[in-house]
Chain A
Amino acid sequence: MRREEDHNVPRHPHLEEKTSDVASGSYRPATIPKHRVISIAVSSQKGGVGKTTVSINLAHSFARAGVKTLLVDADPQGSVGLSLTRQSRLLTGFYDYLADPGIPLDRLIVPTRLETFSLVASGQASDYEAGGGGMGTHLARVRAFLRSIAARGFDLCLIDTAAGLFGVTGDVIASVDAIMIPQQAEPLGIRSVPKLLEGLSRLRVVNPRLNVLGVCLTMVQNDLAESTEAAASLRQLLPQEMVFQTQIPRDGLFVRASARGLPIGVLEDGAGAQVVFDSLRAEIEAKFEPSYGQQAAYG
């Protein structure tokens, strides 16, 4: 089904041009189950750890693999939109949906040339940029959003949240099936892990079905001892199953990709980096295997 025929919303111009080849079906279908939507928040205690980069490229990896994927920008800074769409500031988005119950989901969804990949921008409700609204304020609306997505036939909803585990981000985490946590491989960030775990423990009371997929080390610099030591320390500190084997390296390709408004796998020389996200995708799929029979939290 082509979404752009159903909705009067702009398609992403770059993805239209660049990703038509990957929609040809030559990729191994991923194993995320099709009978329900799985929602995953990409969140962290600290900012600047690579959430948006992970979200965009992981979503693209799932979509390439045939999973009907919706990438939602729940960061008021609009990082996904600013990375992928020139018109992001003009689009009705997630925060508009939270603020106005009259906005239908259809108005939010931005299709791309890759039939299985759609976006929701953060929107224009600027009052949220100052962090408006305490946690719990938008819980009902966030859950309504996830139910609407399930009804639209998406397989996967990946939500790029703002840093911190409070406010709307807290409401998102209190509503999704799972959370993955990008964590920059540097000492200061890893020292914040206890605060992260405490925050997740509190949110898991609100959302008992929250599946903690784990921490993904990002911006790893193999030529910098402090970076590799920090990564090793985190692996020593946390249970093995809580840290993804896949690490995201610091790479100039990410800067080039965001400069051009593309997922990294769409760059001419991005195939190597795409393998990293395909590997991360495979780890996530494996983590969902045992829970195939469970129902979505609020989807």
Chain B
Amino acid sequence: MDPVNPWLDPVEVRRLADRLMRPNRELGVSVADAGFDEGFVGFARDQTIPPEPLPPSPTPFVREVAATSVPPSSPPENPVIARGPFLDRIVRFRDWMHHNFTATGIFILDREGAVIFDESNHGRLHFLARSLALASRRPGASAGNVHVKIGAGATLEVIPVETAYGCLVLGAVVSDSLPPAAVVVVMEALALVAAPPVEG
């Protein structure tokens, strides 16, 4: 009697094994193989747009979002033009994210996955963000933003941002995935917030 095959699915085992033996660059990322569940929204590669230099005033999109999602009497200070110590700038950025995108649980990881800023206090979200950010990388291209539904009315938006200090990974819990234009604005804002202060 075969001591092994009756206890498992040889076809499925072979499929998994064949995938593992092929160079990863030949493969698309399978949600099922990645171990994410039905709530996985997807890798939003089409939302990845290289950031362009930000104008010195809030972009039209920011003004639009502010006008539609927050009371007009309290426009947020744009973190881009807010200077000061790094942590202060990050806190202003956090407030700006709260205000404009109703984002909560904001955290920022550095290129090694170390936590730079965290209001989520949830290590599993960090791990999920790191995994998604790495999984969204493609050869020769920067990582794209990714989102995954983590609960009823809650989506973790993961946005890798190239900055002067390397790639930072921004994680934020939002009610629904951010539209492409919003992602671009967030990327630009974080890139400038993380930029070294310009003297004078």
Contact = CB atoms under 8 A, between A and B. Distances in A.
Contacts of B25: 208
Interface residues of A, number: 37
Given A198-B35, A202-B34, A190 B4 contact: yes
Contacts of B29: 205
Interface in B119-144: 123-124, 126-127, 130-131, 134-135, 137
A143 interface: yes
Contacts of B21: 212, 239, 241-242
A129 interface: no
B196 interface: no
Given A140-B112, A205-B34, A134 B123 contact: yes
Contacts of A187: 3-4, 7
A230 B8 CA distance: 13
B127 A208 contact: no
Q: Chain B interface mostly helix, strand, loop or mixed?
A: helix
A233 B6 CA distance: 11
B13 A238 contact: yes
Interface residues of B, number: 37
A123 to B, nearest CB: 21
A238 B2 contact: no
B4 A136 contact: no
Contact of A212 (B20, B34, B113): B20
Contacts of B114: 140
A216 B21 CA distance: 15
Interface in B60-118: 110, 112-114
B33 interface: yes
Given A198-B35, A201-B34, A234-B4, A242 B112 contact: no
A137 B14 CA distance: 32
A128 B25 CA distance: 35
Interface in B1-53: 2-5, 7-10, 12-14, 16-21, 24-25, 29-30, 33-35
Contacts of A226: 3
A139 interface: yes
Given A144-B112, A208-B24, A239 B13 contact: no
Nearest to B35: A202
A136 B131 CA distance: 9
Contacts of A144: 112
A135 interface: yes
Contact of B16 (A136, A139, A194): A194
B79 to A, nearest CB: 26
Interface in A196-224: 197-198, 200-202, 204-210, 212
B3 A233 contact: yes
A205 B14 contact: no
A197 B4 contact: no
A242 B4 CA distance: 17
Contacts of B17: 197, 237-239, 242
Contacts of A139: 112-113, 127, 130
28 contacts: A134-B124, A136-B113, A136-B124, A136-B126, A136-B127, A137-B127, A139-B112, A139-B127, A140-B110, A190-B3, A191-B8, A194-B8, A194-B9, A201-B16, A202-B33, A205-B131, A205-B134, A206-B130, A208-B24, A208-B25, A208-B134, A230-B3, A233-B2, A234-B4, A237-B13, A238-B14, A238-B17, A239-B18
* Shortest beta-carbon contacts, A-B, top 6: A136-B127, A233-B4, A187-B3, A140-B112, A197-B16, A202-B35
